[in-house]
Amino acid sequence: MQEKYNATQISKVIDQSLVYQCACPAQVCRTIFELRELFEYQINCANNSANDRLVHETIATATAQAHAVMEECLSKVLEIEGWDSASLIMPESLRKKPAKPI
Partner 1 sequence: MKNAKLLLIDSDEYTSSILIEDLKQRGFDNITRISASLDLHQAITESKPDVVIFNYHFHQPDSLINCSAVKLIAPQTAVMAIVSAGPAMKSVRAWAKQTGCVDVVIEKPLSDERFFMSLGDLVKARYAARVLETRAERLANLLPEGAISAIDGDHTDEAEMFEAAILFTDIRRSSEAITHLPPRKFFKLLNQSLSLQARHINQFEGAVVKYTGDGVMAIFRGMGRSYLALRCGLELARSTSQDSMPFGVGVAEGLVLAGFIGDSNQAGQRQQYDVIGATVHLAARLCSMANAGEVIATNKINLTSRLHTPTARDIGTVAIRGFDAGVDCVAFKPDTSLQKIGV
Q: Which one of residues 3, 7, 80, 84 is an interface residue with partner 1 (CB under 8 A)?
A: 7
Q: Which one of residues 2, 8, 85, 87 is an interface residue with partner 1 (CB under 8 A)?
A: 8
**Binding residues for partner 1, total number by CB under 8 A:** 24
Q: Which one of residues 4, 5, 16, 38 is an interface residue with partner 1 (CB under 8 A)?
A: 16
Hey, CA dihedral for 32, 35, 39, 41, is it positive or negative?
Answer: positive
Q: Minimal CA–CA distance to 89: which of 33, 12, 21, 37?
A: 12
Residue 19 binding partner 1, by CB under 8 A? yes
- Look up residue 2 and give its DSSP letter: -
Residue 5 binding partner 1, by CB under 8 A? no
Query: Residue 11: how many CB atoms within 10 A of its CB?
Result: 15
Tell me how far, at minimum, the Cβ of 71 lies from partner 1, in Å: 14
* Touching partner 1, residues 58-97 (CB under 8 A): 90, 95
d(CA 74, CA 51): 34
Terminal Cα-to-Cα distance of the chain (whole angstroms): 34
Q: Which one of residues 4, 5, 33, 68 is an interface residue with partner 1 (CB under 8 A)?
A: 33
